[in-house]
Amino acid sequence: MKAKILWANSEMIEKELTPIKAIRAKCMQCANYNPNEITKCPCPDCALFNFRFGKNPDRKPMSEERKQEMRERIKTLGIGFQHKTTSISG
């Protein structure tokens, strides 16, 4: 989903967003791009109200078993965090 968002330098850009991030962008627009105003949103009847923080409130947290499975899978695939070493020659 493409949405126009206000960038940090006050420039409007078009960016590909997930649905949840598009909702967050809409809430930012409604709150005049002030994140503090989103927490004070005066519209609890708005269909986007529960999603205004950019999170799905209905999504269940990942279980510890599932987290461990994901850690093991990442290790197996070799796509985890890798330390970079640099040498200084001189």
85 in any annotated domain: no
pLDDT reported for residue 40: 92
Ramachandran area for residue 12 (φ above 0: left; ψ -120 to 50: alpha; else beta)? beta
Q: How far apart are CA 52 and CA 21, in angstroms?
A: 9
Domain region containing 43: 2-77
Report the domain count for the chain.
1
45 in any annotated domain: yes
86 in any annotated domain: no
61 in any annotated domain: yes
pLDDT reported for residue 26: 86
Give the C-alpha distances (Å, rounded to integers) separating 74 from 12, 65, 66, 71.
37, 14, 12, 5
User: Looking at the whole model, is its pTM more than 0.75?
Assistant: no
- What's the pLDDT tens digit per position in 26-47? 888 888 888 899 989 999 999 9
- Taking alpha carbons only, the member of 23, 31, 33, 30 closest to residue 54 is 23
88 in any annotated domain: no
90 in any annotated domain: no
65 in any annotated domain: yes
For 52-79, b/e burial (b = at least 16 CB within 10 A) is beeeeeeeeeeeeeeeeeeeeeeeeeee
37 in any annotated domain: yes
